[in-house]
Amino acid sequence: MREHFRERERHSRSLEQSRDGNARFHLVGGGSDFREGLVSVFVSNLNPIVDSIGLWSIFKVFGQVRDVYISQKKNTNRSCFAFIRFETRDEAGRVAQKVNGMHVYGRPIVAKVAEYDWGKRRTNDRPSQSRGIGKDMG
């Protein structure tokens, strides 16, 4: 346990929780969007008890993890999914191949390189969040 905390400090990681309750654990770095240039491995069929630190510990054995994001949205079989981000497509592909089918917290996970590329996203990919004029706006 003590070794785990030393490693967390050494890599200067950051754990965040978004407004929707999803957890994100990543290496702290510069840039406006730390995900830019990273390649994601999509991991599904995760047991809901899994956390970002646990996934980081599992995946770091196979490659240099840069970010872990776990969605709290559960599907019908009460599983959740995550994105584990790596520096290169080769590394992400190698990791996905090694961990696909591996049992994590009693479930065989499904892992594949994600199709969505954060570096190429456009602002108009997301629906507008505008809800009209606010009560203090006029």
The CATH number assigned to the domain holding 79 equals 3.30.70.330
Distances (CA, A) of 7 to 1, 2, 40, 60, 71: 10, 9, 22, 11, 24
Between 58 and 4, name the one with better pLDDT: 58
Whether 53 shows a pLDDT value over 80: the answer reads yes
Asked whether residue 90 is domain-assigned, the answer is yes
Asked whether residue 80 is domain-assigned, the answer is yes
pLDDT for res 136: 52
Asked whether residue 46 is domain-assigned, the answer is yes
Domain that holds residue 44: 2-28+36-114
Whether 64 shows a pLDDT value over 50: the answer reads yes
Whether 112 shows a pLDDT value over 60: the answer reads yes
Asked whether residue 81 is domain-assigned, the answer is yes
Asked whether residue 137 is domain-assigned, the answer is no
The structure's pTM equals 0.62
**Helices marked H in 17-106:** 52-59, 89-99
Asked whether residue 131 is domain-assigned, the answer is no
Return the amino acid letter for 95. V
Asked whether residue 127 is domain-assigned, the answer is no
pLDDT confidence tier of residue 82, bands split at 50, 70 and 90: very high
pLDDT for res 19: 44
How far, in Å, CA of 31 to CA of 8, rounded? 21
The tally of domains found in the chain comes to: 1
Asked whether residue 126 is domain-assigned, the answer is no
pLDDT confidence tier of residue 74, bands split at 50, 70 and 90: low
pLDDT confidence tier of residue 63, bands split at 50, 70 and 90: very high
101 near 50, Cβ under 8 Å? no
